[in-house]
Amino acid sequence: MSLDLIIRVGTKLILPFILLFALYVQFHGDFGPGGGFQAGVIAAGMVILAAITFGMDAAKRIAPPRLVEFMVPLGVLIYAGTGVVALLMGRNFLDYSVLGHDPVHARELGIFLVEAGVLVTVSGTMTALFYAFVERGR
Amino acid sequence: MISIVNAALLTLLATVTVAIVRQRSLFGVVILAGAYSFLMASLLIALDAVDVAMTEASVGAGISTVVLLATLHLTRTREAPVRRHNLVALLLSVVVGGALVLGTLALPPFGAADAVIHHHVAPHYLANSVRETGVANVVTSVLADYRGYDTLGETTVIFTAGIGVMLLLRSFRGRRRARDDEDGAQ
């Protein structure tokens, strides 16, 4: 416990910045490299790092297993739901140009929504996968 | 300059690959595979494919390494005795490898601007992405808008894989035991 002081303090310091970087990758994906997939994996990486350093109980306080398992299908629903909304508004499936007052902003909004869906599913799946492996070993 | 970087990275990649083949300890293999992924990510940055590099670094070197280490913890690492020379396997490897090399020979030259793939829809995306979608990063607009169907499929693949792994590995023991206790109390 006391021998890994540097790892514990170091991890505690960088955990919030990893999550911040994930959010940056997510919301800056319009202008720079990255997007929902990369951001989701980085966010899941934060939970995994917390689990490795502080144990599974700490990780489960950050990301409760029930929430994580809920996120796995939720992201796909957000993504497909965006497409269905476009469908209901009289356009093709996943044609975002009707989601706002003018087509360019609407498509930007559509991209934002589906990227959010990807983030939710990817971060949920990666974390749930890790939980499944670790719980199996107990 | 960039060719020196590429040469160094490719040499390191080849070295790590040989080390993986020669390594008998699976733990060592997992760590070397992580190093391979980081080298691959660096190479992809040198090729200006930053999005793919990011994915390779986070998935290949991060999540995969963790999951493989967890798998090593779950399974035994005893090696089954094998015959030293397996001619069928050698023949199969040579044939498949040869077919792959033959396939690459028919590809357009590496990085060629006049390749067919760069003249189909790519010019339209590059020219009109900002005007049509308001998103400056063409990779994002292609992934999430122009090719939204494909990305929906990808997300569904991740969802399906996650559900599959959870069904196979997740322990439902806690919940079942709670239910058994309930039955016992009744």
The string of pLDDT tens digits covering residues A65-75 is 999 999 999 99
> Model confidence at A97, in pLDDT bands (50, 70, 90)?
confident
For residue A43, what is the nearest residue in chain B, using CA coordinates?
A: B58
Range of the domain at B62: 1-78
Which range of A39-43, B49-53, B126-130 scores highest in mean pLDDT? It is A39-43
For residue A37, what is the nearest residue in chain B, using CA coordinates?
A: B55
CA angle A118, A120, A123 (to 5 degrees): 100
Identify whether B144 is part of a domain: no
Q: In chain B, pLDDT over 90 holds for what percent of residues?
A: 44
Identify whether B43 is part of a domain: yes
pLDDT, position B186: 41
Spacing of C-alpha B142 from chain mean position: 21
Which chain B residues touch A22 with a CB distance below 8 Å?
none
pLDDT, position B184: 46
Contact across the interface for A38 and B143, Cβ inside 8 Å: no
Q: Is B172 a residue whose pLDDT tops 80? A: no
> Model confidence at B116, in pLDDT bands (50, 70, 90)?
confident
Identify whether B50 is part of a domain: yes
Cβ contact A119:A36 at 8 Å: yes
Of B40, B47, B41, which Cα lies nearest the Cα of B3? B47
Average pLDDT of A122-131?
94
Which A residues in the span 67-126 are in contact with B, Cβ-Cβ below 8 Å?
A: 69, 72-73, 75-76, 79-80, 83, 93-94, 96, 103-105, 107-108, 110-111, 114-115, 117-118, 121-122, 124-126
Average pLDDT of A113-134?
93
Q: List alpha helices for B47-147, DSSP H.
A: 50-55, 64-74, 87-105, 122-133, 138-141
Contact across the interface for B134 and A105, Cβ inside 8 Å: yes
Identify whether B61 is part of a domain: yes
Total count of domains within chain B: 1
Identify whether B143 is part of a domain: no
Identify whether B115 is part of a domain: no
If DSSP states are collapsed to H, E and C, what string results for A10-44? HHHHHHHHHHHHHHHHHHCCCCCCCCHHHHHHHHH
Determine the residue among B158, B160, B168 to mutate to test chain A binding: the one whose Cβ has the most chain A Cβ atoms within 10 Å: B158
pLDDT, position B185: 46
> Model confidence at B79, in pLDDT bands (50, 70, 90)?
confident
> Model confidence at B37, in pLDDT bands (50, 70, 90)?
very high
Spacing of C-alpha A48 from chain mean position: 13
- Residue located via tokens 């790892």: A7
Q: Is B175 a residue whose pLDDT tops 70? A: no
Long-range contacts of the stretch B90-98 (C-beta < 8 A, 24+): none
Out of A116-130, B25-39, B126-140, least confident range: B126-140
Q: Is B178 a residue whose pLDDT tops 80? A: no
